[in-house]
Chain A
Amino acid sequence: MVKMSLEHIRKVYPNQTIAAIPDYNLEIDDGEFVVFIGPSGSGKSTVLRMIAGLEDISGGEFKIDGKVMNDVEPKNRDISMVFQNYALYPHMTVFENMAFGLRLNKVPQEEINRRVKEAAETLGLDPYLDRKPANLSGGQRQRVALGRAMVRDAKVMLLDEPLSNLDAKLRVEMRSKIGMLHKQLGNNMIYVTHDQVEAMTMADRIVLIDHGVIQQVGTPSELYNNPGNKFTAGFMGSPSMNFLNVVFKKDHIETVDGKVKLELPKYLAKLLKDQGYEGKEVIFGIRPEDLHNEPIVKETYPNATIKVQLDLVEPLGAETMLYFHVNGEPFVATTNTREVLRTGDEIELTFQISNSYFFDPVTELRIHAEGTEVYPSPTKEESDLANAKGTELEGTKNSGKY
């Protein structure tokens, strides 16, 4: 049984005045598959490396089963790790690569043989055990890296963007393999990625990070359907959500110049009114799949239809992506129209307004009704300022340690 907790974890790199990770709090339950996701440079790998022990923790406590692990050597943390670049030992065969850790831990030879063989069978590496990494394909190398982590039989498995170097087909294949592996091993897995398809498909829980600050933690569907702030709403989903600055007026929203006008259903108008946004600016967000050009939708929301000129049309087969501008803001619509559209065409698009989101223009928090549960995401100001808070001293203080 492993329960991990990160309490007020902080990371300031030496000679830096800005914290890479200002204040990180997370509990991970036994057997959970947690995905850290965020744009590049968001600090997701830094947290992973602190858990692994490859990076010093500047502040806060990291515990496994209640025991503080901050200063415990990586080898004593009972973790295994898969690196983005595989990190195979080039002078060793596949077998030796997998056996290396076991040998260091003085596991008897028979046991080593058994475990390596087992892992090789699971991953389909049997025929390659005598080969050196140079003679393997990318996918095979990735599997060796996975196998190496598997034979350790560690309670926690850390995966740092393990699939980002594979081609699309292999990625799908390995994704399911890792999912299977997790079920089979039943250990904790922490998976870092910037690919939201990986996050959505594999995670029990997703931790969305930006600038080292947790934006939202929850199940994939929670993050997608119930975002706490504009960042989460914009990050989850592909293509990402469209945003438009509008003014709320009684029963409709309109752009400042009044050119675009969308009528709101009663309950949405009430929500905005109750939260005190009458006559004020709000950020209106709608996902590309909630924009339609079928006549039937137009009939449902006759007053939420606008005319647009298409900048670009991308037919993907099952669906077609339409790119255009609304009031100077770039918009995307994903439609499953059968109609043949061309760049430059002028069409009517209807907003399925009941699926829209509203955000405060200053805090960028989601505007929601009292009583509905929404993750307490940080405001924009909190995110922006968190890293700089009180770090100047720390940076110098820590710089001596390394």
Chain B
Amino acid sequence: MQKQKKRSVAIAQIVISILAFFWVIPIIFVILQSFRAEGGQFVSYFIPKQWTFDNYAYLFTNNDGWNYGQWFLNTLFVSIVAGSISTFLTIGVAYALSRLQFKLKGFYLRFALVIGMFPGFLSMISIYYILKALNLTNSLWALIIMYSYGAALAFYVQKGFFDTIPQSLDERAQIDGASRWQIFRKITLPIAKPIIVYTALGAFTGPWMDFIFAKVVLGNNQDKWTVAVGLFTMVSAKENANALFMSFAAGSVMIAIPITILFIWLQRFFVEGVTAGSVKG
């Protein structure tokens, strides 16, 4: 019995280790490339022969018009604003659909489900023309609109969470004298912290990582680019590809840092059993 248990644990460990190795390899590769001093996109070895910080420095010294610092700030700005708007919309819609009774609610639920099955970029071209007609292209605000317009349709997980918060808590608060807003603010939101963190993370990482929408909306104005668009352009031109590859890697590492920190920081909110003890279970 004991032996068998040990063996299956060992097998699991081995499988996980192999998988982890394959997953970590590309990341390690990119990090190593970002410190490589000798040039060239394609080299036949893994570990750099000479180490340097120049690749990072290059990004911020604004050589040749590659304005990485600006892109970074743009991305941060767009992600924070779009992330906040989407989070607010998603949580608000999910709460309303979970708690309030209104006409056409059932229709909206089904409608959202069907619409949600189409990939987001299907609407990209039409939205691009709408934005163009409104004279909004080539701006970060256009991108923010692009990222947040769908938030009101992506509420299913959040609604599911709100549904698990007992109705009697709302009723109890109602009798205590709380208004709808107070119930939402003081009772529901604190309990819903994990789902809000989950939503916010998703809403932030979406724009942070996105390439396709940014590419469509932002056009040729380098100052308005996000990191994804900028980095791609850096290495997509043939004459640059070889020279800038290490800086491209450095840029990729830089963009991963904030999001890694964010995940580590927000992780503690994902505590289990937040509603424990509220009602008899």
Contact = CB atoms under 8 A, between A and B. Distances in A.
B205 interface: no
Contacts, number: 84
12 contacts: A54-B174, A74-B175, A79-B175, A81-B171, A81-B175, A83-B171, A86-B278, A88-B277, A90-B191, A90-B277, A132-B277, A134-B276
Contact of A88 (B174, B190, B278): B278
Interface in B178-192: 178, 182, 186-187, 190-191
Nearest to A49: B171
Contact of A141 (B174, B175, B274, B280): B280
B177 A75 contact: yes
B266 interface: no
Interface of B: 101, 166, 168-169, 171-178, 182, 186-187, 190-191, 273-280
Nearest to A138: B280
Interface residues of A, number: 32
B178 to A, nearest CB: 6
A133 B277 contact: yes
Nearest first, the 5 A-B pairs at minimum CB distance are A134-B277, A133-B277, A101-B176, A75-B177, A85-B279
Given A83-B279, A90-B277, A138-B280, 10 more contacts: A75-B175, A84-B168, A84-B280, A86-B279, A87-B166, A87-B168, A87-B169, A104-B178, A132-B277, A134-B273
A135 interface: yes
A259 interface: no
A60 to B, nearest CB: 22
B101 A87 contact: no
A52 B177 CA distance: 12
A156 to B, nearest CB: 11
Nearest to B190: A91
Contacts of B186: 100
Contact of A54 (B171, B177, B191, B278): B171
Given A54-B171, A134-B273, A402-B101, A91 B191 contact: yes
Contact of A87 (B178, B274, B279): B279
Most buried by A among B173, B182, B187, B279: B279
Interface string A35-76: 000000000000000001110000000000000000000110
Given A74-B174, A101-B177, A83 B277 contact: no
Contacts of B101: 402
A376 B33 CA distance: 92
Most buried by B among A52, A90, A91, A152: A90
Contacts of A372: none
B277 A85 contact: no
Most buried by A among B173, B175, B187, B276: B175
